[in-house]
């Protein structure tokens, strides 16, 4: 068995920020894959909680993070640098049954943290 060195850590695919859907049937998470020596590609995926193949939810350029299910489970909010010339992360919302994500914010300093309102309207 080969020894794992500190430098090898960057080569590992990482899974972060798992979030179980309101119905409990899926878990959304961030999958980080090394792009080069310093950068990762981060995308949102979801997998059935009972087992099975994960589905990639986000495909666009940029770094995606913080997946958050809407209270009804029909939408997934996330923070992304997609489409940003200056890498300022913004809030995006994606229908979970398919379709395109839409940008919800254009905050000058970028979005740092997100949470749905209890009724799912905001």
Window from 8-12, 67-71, 104-108 with minimum mean pLDDT: 8-12
Average pLDDT value for residue range 18-25: 97
Q: Residue 68 has what pLDDT?
A: 97
Residue 116 lies in a domain: no
Number of domains within the chain: 1
- The answer to whether the pTM exceeds 0.85 is yes
Q: Residue 1 has what pLDDT?
A: 78
Average pLDDT value for residue range 87-108: 92
Residue 114 lies in a domain: no
Residue 120 lies in a domain: no
Structural domain harbouring 99 = 6-103
pLDDT category at 12 given cuts 50, 70, 90 is confident
- Given a cut of 90, whether residue 44 has pLDDT beyond it is yes
In angstroms, rounded to a whole number, what is the distance separating the alpha carbons of residues 26 and 55?
Answer: 10
Residue 38 lies in a domain: yes
In angstroms, rounded to a whole number, what is the distance separating the alpha carbons of residues 13 and 106?
Answer: 30
- Given a cut of 80, whether residue 43 has pLDDT beyond it is yes
Residue 115 lies in a domain: no
Residue 112 lies in a domain: no
- Given a cut of 80, whether residue 24 has pLDDT beyond it is yes
Residue 99 lies in a domain: yes
- Given a cut of 80, whether residue 8 has pLDDT beyond it is no
Residue 85 lies in a domain: yes
């Amino acid at each position: 068995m080969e020894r794992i060195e500190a430098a090898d850590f960057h080569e590992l695919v990482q899974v972060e920020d798992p979030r179980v859907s309101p119905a409990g049937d899926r878990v959304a998470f961030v999958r980080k894959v090394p792009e080069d020596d310093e950068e990762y590609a981060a995308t949102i995926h979801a997998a059935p909680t009972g087992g099975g193949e994960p589905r990639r939810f986000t495909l666009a350029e940029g770094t995606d993070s913080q997946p958050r299910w809407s209270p009804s489970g029909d939408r997934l909010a996330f923070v992304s640098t997609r489409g940003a010339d200056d890498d300022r992360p913004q809030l995006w919302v994606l229908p979970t049954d398919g379709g395109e994500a839409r940008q919800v914010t254009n905050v000058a300093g970028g979005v740092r943290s997100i949470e749905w309102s209890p009724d799912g309207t905001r």
